[in-house]
Structure formats: structure tokens, C-alpha cells
Chains A and B, each alone.
Chain A
């Protein structure tokens, strides 16, 4: 049972815009920034979004992040076949002396 809640799956067709939600609480998303990771099969995760809405160098601007209250979202516009992957949200949690928490992951399928 993950501390952050994500839908287990999402899908879209090429060119479409897809959003993935991440729900938390006041001790994590409500008071800290959110990161998003993309994981392709058999590889280590890749940082996609940090500090809620910042993209590391090299990440296309098709990927964007936002937050409202205790929920966050990852939006992918102009969906491409190579975007098919698992996506994880993450946030620092201020409870229990501080800890990192992840969502359970969302498998994105490009139809």
C-alpha cells in the first residue's frame, strides 16, 4: 500500500494529451514539492519532473507537472509511442522524522 495514490493504468493514442494523477496528504504533497519518474522496462527510473513543475535538461516540454493542495498531476501532450512506460510520483513526507514516499506507479499504454 503506497503512501501516494496513483491509478494503476492509463492509455492514449498518439498525439493525444494524457494526465496521470497522484494523491497524497498534508504531510507530503500538501507541504512539499513533487517529483515524477519515468521507467522503461528493464531500466532504472529517469527523473522527468522535479520541484513539482521543473524539467531536467533534456526532458521534452511535452511533459509538465502541477500540484493543487494534496494532489499532483503529470501531463503528457503529443503522446508518442516511446512514452509507453511506468510513471511514478514522489514526494518528501514530513511525518516520522522525514522520509521519501513514492506512488504505486501508473503504466501508460500508447494505443
Chain B
């Protein structure tokens, strides 16, 4: 069974940093691109970015480019999202998702709140 479990969410002050992690199991992690999608409270879905199987190619959305970095450790079956210079508008549920774009498998999400 495919499982994606996010962790690392919490409350952080504006301008601060946070690192999210996603533990993957039930599939060959190194064979799949991975992505992050977020959803602000009461709002729609927003694509954060993705990373290819080997970690050499990364793409990110306009609103996070230059502040957020996606990385992966295939030996540990782990996906990370390093978030710097956080803003109030980054407050959201962050989902770890398997795949480059057609997202069948989603994690349960981790909540990030940016507030002073």
C-alpha cells in the first residue's frame, strides 16, 4: 500500500524558516518524481513544485520560487521541502504527492501557519 506521511509543520514567524519532510513507503521511491501541493485555509489548490526521480531536475511555482527548495533522499525514501523567508500567505496545508503531475497518491497533509 502506498503511503505518504508528511511531518514538520507548525507555527513560524514571518521571515522564518521551516523544513517539511515526507516519508514514502509501499512503492519504489526512486522510480517516481515527487511533488508538493498546498492549500490555504478555505482556498483552492496551489502547485508548489516537483522533483524528478534522481533529484537533478526541479520546478517550482511562481509564488515560492527562490524561497522554497525541494530535495529528496532516495536511500531514505524521503522528500523534503525547505521553506525560507516565510510569509503569512504561505499559511496552508502542505501535501506530499507522488508523481510529476497526474497525482493519484496524496499524503494527509501537514499544516504550516505563518504568524507573529
Closest Cβ–Cβ distance, residue B99 to chain A (whole Å): 9
Contacting residue for B101 out of A45, A86, A92, CB 8 A: A92
B residues within 8 Å of A by Cβ? 35, 37, 44-47, 50, 59-62, 95, 101-104, 106-109
Which residue of chain B has the shortest Cβ distance to A54 in the bound complex?
B102
Closest Cβ–Cβ distance, residue A20 to chain B (whole Å): 13
Number of A residues with CB within 8 Å of any CB on chain B? 24
Contact flag A100-B101 (CB < 8 Å), given A88-B44, A88-B45: yes
Closest Cβ–Cβ distance, residue A45 to chain B (whole Å): 6
Chain A residues whose CB sits within 8 angstroms of the CB of B35 once the complex forms: 100
Check if A73 is an interface residue, CB within 8 A of chain B.
Answer: no
Check if A35 is an interface residue, CB within 8 A of chain B.
Answer: yes
Scan residues 48-102 of chain A and give those whose CB is less than 8 A from a CB of chain B. Answer: 50-51, 56, 86, 88, 90, 92, 96-102
Q: Are the C-beta atoms of A103 and B44 separated by less than 8 Å?
A: yes
Q: Are the C-beta atoms of A44 and B95 separated by less than 8 Å?
A: yes
Check if A18 is an interface residue, CB within 8 A of chain B.
Answer: no
